[in-house]
Chain A
């Protein structure tokens, strides 16, 4: 769940907007480049945005007795790298802020920073790290999506704690408070998001193998080896 409209003091709202802006600008650039160079990827880009749209519309009950929704940013970050996800996440947040009174325009910067910047980067980083250690693809995808989801709400908790430190215990006291509201609620939802992202990735593996190879999710080498058993393509 995003920070509601007007619930960050003006100075914080402006600071987070300034922090997010360069990432969104960079994202728009990568997105236009991707569409220009690979027009065929437009469909998959749309599908990644759609995944975020679906997941962030589903408010799901959690173990804490409250509801929250997943983010769906892990998939796009793994497929197209985080900058592009900054744009797709911002579009989703704008839609919710303008039509659903969910999140807000004054808190858009802060929400973009957590959902569309930190989440995708943290998830993508986790995914790449696990892949480097040759963890099976689907395990890496699950962990990437899980981290993207959970880190988003950890950042939200930090943002609110910075703006509203506890009078007695200060920043850390407030962080514990907001963390128990956002982050703990989010843990089972992050697991759900991980499972759903794995599901979509499995469907993509069946339907769009060529594109996954081009995007570097599936390695060309492995495919050739399994197809021919001849290791001549190892250098490619």
Chain B
């Protein structure tokens, strides 16, 4: 059982592609080997900036011979058909066998494939893997046509068994396989040969290459946190950056450096972003002050001066970068303190969407909506308007131009610098929230108003121009905006009449002449049902069944999400009780009998049952129970106290069950029968006043 070692040695592979590439190499090669009839015991793949490595152990030495029989055309079939069969099976006519079949004599081809040596299979599979490698982007080089992520320099491919290591011969566009590789580009550039994976990994380490990405990442993190700890500082954790940095070095050397005092006044997010994006530095924080005061850089080199030159160079580069950031910050502060006028003007040149105008147009609309939403949040109208006006101003700032990921956050800093109200500053950052299902939801009225206005503008805008999400396509993140509104409303118990807002806003996206009112209504209703769909997904995650939500959506006022969810929660809680669950049965039974009778008789039994025709005790008891329930449910519904209403409704379970046990609805006397049907109608009316229980399953 030989072991297989493959290394594809190239010029520097982008860090972000390494992990996936090592997995792809493993998959392509192992799939190919298995396909060709080999098996293996274990596989592991690794990547460094310059190599992809795959190690397989316990590979079978050769594939088993394969015998395959294929049934062909009938004897006497046209030559064309027989020739086609021969081509497909890859055999000659004289090799065909004639056998008896149910329908007569038929040609059979027997294809014998001898077993093949592992080396032959590996060579073939590896060549195919190299030629068909799924790099996200690949390139040609020199005068060749082979494609790889960067120029491919050498292929190491050996099979090792008790007898020793043997090169698997292979040639891909002039790159021939061998048993050698190289160490670190500067620290151990010479080639060396290897005989097995263990030998390979050990020799690489001696040649200043740590093969395993995890080992490099762990070493970096351990050393960085140690060095910071020694100074009473802490490294700001960033797993993405750690993985990236581990993909930029074969021999990590961690160096801790200082940030020049001149720049410690910059917002810490600016320091962190600049250091991470431009320099791939980790930020090091002083836990006492919360400030970012130092950085960690990871070099790929050991030097005689223990990295002093490297660190000094890195510090200098950082200072130049931060000088730029400071230049942006100071310019931006000047504009901010002068009222942000030029920023707002220039947003007129930024197209939001060619059918929905510029960012400036959008800001004006958001201001209008925020003003109308403010009363629903008891938020100060003037502050809401001001917040809407400036919330996106920072998109024109130099800092956000340089670091788009700081949008909102910079706005907050600039508003504070301009002396604007805290809530206005908070709205700059907060109005984008919530960005994800787990993102925190704002609760300050002004922030919520702008956040709602912003998202409603997006949704009604795209609904106006028929750009709705389809399947997996949602380029404008409309589902996210919708879920954002749902969470904002529910958490803040906001009671927006959404349908009215939709209509007004959709109308606002058009000139009056463009759209007839009916079409506006259709779009608004369609958007509301999109909200209801999102709401179902949202509540399902919270354990509320879709049929319960449907039962509540069917009630009036369903564009008031807070009310809708309150109703659904009360219903879910009621249905979770024994009475509630059984009431549904009773309601359904009553409803079925009633519906059938109404269909049959062609009348609606809603004239009010009269207790004087009640004969049975259970019947009289039901009358009393319904009266009692009515007295409780009506005022409770009036005050939107669904849980009281539903508890009262659930209390009907006993009397209803008893009624069905003791009383025959279809009595001999037509008068009594009709009275009882009218009684069932009261059950239906009471139950449907709370939620549309016909929609509830079970």
Decide whether A and B are members of one complex. no
Point out residues on B near A: beta carbons under 8 Å: none
Point out residues on A near B: beta carbons under 8 Å: none
